[in-house]
Amino acid sequence: MANKWRMRARDRRAAAFMAAALALILTIAAPRAAESADPDALWRIVHTLCVTDMRVSGSPAPCARVDLAKRYAVLKDIRGDTQLLLIPTDRLSGIEAPQLLAADAPNYFADAWDARPLFEARAKTAVPREDIALAINSIYGRSQQQLHIHIDCVRPDVRDALAAHADAIGRRWRLLEFPLAGRHYQAMRIEGEELGDRSPFKLLAEQPGARADMGRETLAVIGVSADGRPGFVLLSDRADLTTMDQGAAEDLQDHSCKVLHAATGA
């Protein structure tokens, strides 16, 4: 009888966690920058629910992963079947957070890339590196005041343009002569299967003027493979409200994952 009571109490606690998580997630279902969005929803989901549940029960719910040692969580976004969000468990406002440029700062983009198995589990297939994009928006292109990196499929036209112009992307930042999703991005390439300790935030801050106003910056990291050499293309843009550019590298992603449908013939 006591065991049955404990099981029922545990089930009620789990149901309460999931109900609270759903209520919070629904508050960010509106498009980015919508006034109705709760700007602290992501923080409360991760801090109040995911981290607490991980510490109490060893389960990351409602997150897909909580790494207490590396201080990040991975949460399924309400949009799309595959989109995930990498969210620090420390309070960080966004791309402008000065902690990201500290010498000992975690490499959250590397952690996001390492979350690919979770992404592939949702995609139900292995996903080539060139079909995966990571993105963080500027302060003008986001609705949440907690840093989060979007993990999802790249737009097919963006993937194809990067492949077609691979020779134009070198190891230093350079303005691309061709547009991606209607914007001209700065781009650079880094080599290697993994990001390791190379922080895209710190590489972005090397651009003239970027470090002084990181809040206007947006950044994407897209896997590439040229001549059998794996690597990454980093893409940055700067918000300019006079041209209606909100600085949203998330626009380089496709939350319907057409690249996967084309590969599977679905």
Q: What residues does each domain of the chain span?
A: 2-264
Give me the tens of pLDDT residue by residue for the chain, a chain 266 residues long.
444 444 444 454 544 444 444 444 434 433 444 434 799 999 999 999 999 999 999 999 999 999 999 999 999 999 999 999 999 999 999 999 999 999 999 999 999 999 999 999 999 999 999 999 999 999 999 999 999 999 999 999 999 999 999 999 999 999 999 999 999 999 999 999 999 999 999 999 999 999 999 999 999 999 999 877 999 999 999 999 899 999 999 999 999 999 998 765 55
- The candidate with the shortest Cα–Cα distance to 190, out of 259, 238, 129, 126, is 129
Helix ranges (H only) for the chain are 2-26, 41-44, 51-57, 108-114, 116-123, 156-164, 200-204, 258-264
CATH topology for 2-264 is HIT family, subunit A (3.30.428)
CB burial of 83-110 (b: ≥16 within 10 Å; e: otherwise) equals: bbbbbbbeebbbbebeebeeeeebbbbb
| Cis ω before 98 (30° cut-off from 0) | no
Measured CA to CA, the distance from residue 20 to residue 30 in angstroms comes to 18
